[in-house]
Structure 1
Amino acid sequence: MTDVLTWTVQQRLELEGRAELLRKELSGIESQLARLEAAEVVFGQWAEATDGGRRSSGIAEPEPEPEPEPERVVAGPGAGGMRLVPDRSEGMGVESLTPEYRRIMEIVAGRRVR
């Protein structure tokens, strides 16, 4: 007698689990179906209004946004690959550097700069 009761309970639990999965699947299918039905209605209205796409729908197209003005670029030392420091060669002194780099060299060398 307990075997029949155990089997019945197991079957019921298994079927409840399957039924829950099927309910979830059915809910997803119903929502897809509702979206497709809405799309059919909208497309049907558009087709009627435009004679199947042969006429304009009368809906104004949005104006394209204007192109932004290009940003002005001012070329200064070091821009676009300009060299700030010349290549070092034998006998070259600090005097060939720009004033900013000369100051850096003086600081590095430990000299006082006013």
Structure 2
Amino acid sequence: MTDAQVVGWIAARRAELDVLEDSLARQLAEVRAERDELAVAEKVWARAEAAVAGDAAPVAAGALVGGRSVLLIPHRSPGMGEDALPPEYRKIMGILRATGGPVMAKAVGEKLGIDVKSPGKVEPLRGKLSKLAERGWARKLADGRFQITL
């Protein structure tokens, strides 16, 4: 082999290794991203199990898990039961069902034992009712009342 051939072979091999390195770096990034997603899913699953078992404090409509926003109030789909909701939201759904018709957020708050004279207490409840309506669990009427969807 001549010096030019050796230099050419080295340059070609270096180019092959550069391509391989880029490919492996992309694969490693994909693996790390999937592992991060699985860690988030595992935390969400554990929280949901704890909430269903009643071992956890009520959870909000959305939360940060692993630095990512996680949807805890799922969009309602056919065959999905209210057991998919956190306990606090199941209580709200029970009140909506028991009223049998449209109800104001204050009336739901009264049944939950919330001080409805304080807007600071009613507005978070109204937000939860709105979240249930946005996700298909309830219906928000034009006059601001809420009712359960069938």
What's the TM-score, normalizing by structure 2? 0.38
More strand by share: 2
Higher relative contact order at CA 8 Å, sep ≥6: structure 1 or structure 2?
2
